[in-house]
A and B are shown apart, each in its own frame.
Chain A
């Protein structure tokens, strides 16, 4: 074989030999790309030096000197810039994390409503989806923030809902459990319970699959989750948490949980916007399971619940999860719009630093690295999931 192809290639003139052509194309393209990168890089470094722009990371240890609104973790302007950036990162992760959970719940509900046999319900869901998908997220955020959350009454005239929940232009104040000194024992027991339950679930499930013996792994795992915290409760001397109500002190309410208007409007905006897309993902996923499957499953005598549990959900999930995860990534990226409504996340903190200290390049590299890392994480999860469902398939 080898000699044959070699001999044949000798007959072909060089400029028509595909292998030579490929090699040449390769070298040329590599050269071009390398040249472009070098050209950009060198020019940039000289230009940056000329303009007195720093290209190092030593400023990370300098005091940040700017305040950050609602820093979540303890922060003051005398902390280093690196720490300020970390605060921004935490805020990005916080709002994206909660947003993802809420958007999934809301999106699934709306997706199901869209499939409802009730005509009116389905139309309502459609209206919701079409409204949110066809306006820019930034406009939606503006609408939620400036005219809505900013317009709530002053602190003195707070709207009081049962709970008590206080609504005013400083935010939403909720009664919130506060961990008592011994409370960590209870939290630890909660965690231990979860870990044990997960281990039990997989171990017993395997036993059931291998030996065909019923192990009731679902029930056992749930029991573990429920029982562990009870032990923890007693170990921590009872009442590990105490509800704390917000009280008006000085200019603001103190205690309890406070959601700032910036955070709340960003969260609501992101959640409602992403939920519209998730609803479509969920609808498409469920519709992807053909009607015949459902009918066949019913015909073999599965109960409606079993049809859902063993036929529809597993197949729908396979269609749903990849686009769902990309929606999660979108939500995280979209949280950078927070800049416009005064919630300072990682891009916003970076931008202040760029303005104030002229550290444009390193700071931007850091912001890029954050988003790329999140994207990397997302694709890692997706890959893992795709491999898993492929395994199940075969």
Chain B
């Protein structure tokens, strides 16, 4: 996977800006030329961008549908359920930040910053009521509340993990979809979900569900049983050999043929399964990388102690290997997050799909595609960059990437 760039040229603390410039920008005639060239490039680019963003672009399609981009067609009178989920997740994020520190820090900060930014947009937006803005700020406060609580009373990681598991199950299976035949939590079919909500659910769901499968496949690939090994290799290599889009498309189609007449197989779930299968193959390879890094001596020592293969894997190999591959998995999560855009081939309105629906919402917007796509690119960029930044921090904290 991609290891993140370290800073190669670190500017020394300034004993004089001029000296620094001389050393780093103009230390030879060639470098001076490069500097001038770079400056020209930056100037041309920035002036173009600024002029366009502030004076030429028409941001109406983006500004008029913030809710559509966030939650798709989720019923507007039931938005409190999304808000509740976001609030709980914010709080847990804060607690995790307090408990796990660096691991979560930049996630939590980005999340808070984005919500604060949405809440404080300085001009009126129809969908963005005072209540909604207020809620966003509350969620930010919840992050900090969680942080301080975790700092105050030491929160044990194990319980936190449990809390995360319970929360996500509750959110995805109960709070958001509601319950059949319930008057309080009325049923909201997944066909109404959309936007960023779906993007996040697909990416997080994909990575979480693919994790156990990936670990099993990785172990299977190293197994001494030829059948298991063969199956794992074939599965991993076939999935990795074809593009995600063909897997998604075909999986959905095959499922459609397979399904008994009259049954309804949730379309979001279909996409999620397709993504999970795809992700599992890559996960397996990442985990295998960690497994290979465990010195053979440890395994032999464990055998000498009389542990069986199952015990060795569970207590010796996996804990070390998985710890080692966390940054790689974050990297995989970033690509998966970006790859969720491909589910538009299944007719699911995730962020990009909503963008395309918005372009169709009014004849005038057809000409404003650049604005919509750039806005979507920005959202993806902020999230991915925050994640890659945190994985960089993590790599340093764990000392993995060092040679």
In-complex A–B contact (CB below 8 Å): yes
> What residues make up the interface of A, taking CB atoms closer than 8 Å to B?
22, 25-26, 29-30, 33, 43-44, 47-48, 51, 53, 114-122, 124, 126, 129-131, 133-140, 142-143, 146-148, 277, 280, 283-284, 287-288, 333-334, 336-337, 339, 347, 351, 354, 360-361, 364, 367-368, 371-372, 374-376
Among A131, A137, A374, the residue within 8 A (CB) of B381 is A131
Task: Decide yes or no: A120 and B377 within 8 Å by CB, A29-B227, A133-B384 being known contacts.
Answer: no
> What residues make up the interface of B, taking CB atoms closer than 8 Å to A?
2-3, 5, 8-9, 11, 24-25, 27, 31, 34-35, 38-39, 41-42, 224-228, 231, 237-238, 240-243, 245-246, 249-250, 253-254, 257-258, 334, 338-339, 341-342, 345, 352, 369-370, 373-374, 376-377, 380-381, 384-385, 388, 403
Task: Decide yes or no: A142 and B369 within 8 Å by CB, A47-B258, A131-B381 being known contacts.
Answer: yes
Among B226, B373, B403, the residue within 8 A (CB) of A146 is B373
**Is A121 in contact with B381, judged by CB distance below 8 angstroms?**
no
**Is B226 in contact with A26, judged by CB distance below 8 angstroms?**
yes
**Is A143 in contact with B377, judged by CB distance below 8 angstroms?**
yes
**Is A371 in contact with B241, judged by CB distance below 8 angstroms?**
yes
**Is B380 in contact with A135, judged by CB distance below 8 angstroms?**
yes
**Is B25 in contact with A118, judged by CB distance below 8 angstroms?**
yes
**Can you name 4 extra interface pairs (CB under 8 A) apart from A48-B257, A118-B25?**
A138-B341, A139-B352, A143-B370, A277-B2
Nearest CB of B to A389, in Å: 19
Among B35, B224, B226, B385, the residue within 8 A (CB) of A118 is B35
CA distance A259 to B361 in the complex (A): 32
CA distance A283 to B9 in the complex (A): 13
**Is A337 in contact with B245, judged by CB distance below 8 angstroms?**
yes
**Is B370 in contact with A147, judged by CB distance below 8 angstroms?**
yes
CA distance A33 to B9 in the complex (A): 53
**Is A122 in contact with B8, judged by CB distance below 8 angstroms?**
yes
Closest to A119 in B: B24
Can you list 29 A-B contacts (CB < 8 A)? A29-B231, A43-B258, A51-B257, A114-B5, A115-B8, A117-B9, A117-B27, A118-B38, A119-B9, A121-B35, A124-B42, A126-B5, A130-B388, A134-B381, A136-B341, A138-B342, A138-B352, A139-B341, A140-B377, A142-B352, A142-B369, A148-B370, A280-B2, A280-B3, A287-B8, A288-B403, A354-B253, A368-B238, A368-B246
**Is A134 in contact with B388, judged by CB distance below 8 angstroms?**
yes
**Is A135 in contact with B338, judged by CB distance below 8 angstroms?**
yes
**Is A146 in contact with B31, judged by CB distance below 8 angstroms?**
no
Among A25, A43, A118, A136, the residue within 8 A (CB) of B380 is A136
Q: Which residues of B contact A129 (CB under 8 A)?
A: 5
Q: Which residues of A contact B246 (CB under 8 A)?
A: 336, 347, 364, 367-368, 371
Nearest CB of A to B61, in Å: 13
CA distance A71 to B225 in the complex (A): 48
**Is B34 in contact with A135, judged by CB distance below 8 angstroms?**
no
Q: Which residues of A contact B238 (CB under 8 A)?
A: 368, 372
CA distance A324 to B237 in the complex (A): 18
Nearest CB of A to B391, in Å: 12
**Is B225 in contact with A339, judged by CB distance below 8 angstroms?**
no
Among B11, B253, B334, B376, the residue within 8 A (CB) of A360 is B253
**Is A118 in contact with B24, judged by CB distance below 8 angstroms?**
yes
**Is A44 in contact with B384, judged by CB distance below 8 angstroms?**
no
**Is A375 in contact with B225, judged by CB distance below 8 angstroms?**
no
Nearest CB of B to A142, in Å: 5
Q: Which residues of A contact B2 (CB under 8 A)?
A: 133, 277, 280
Closest to A280 in B: B2
Q: Which residues of B contact A136 (CB under 8 A)?
A: 338-339, 341, 352, 377, 380
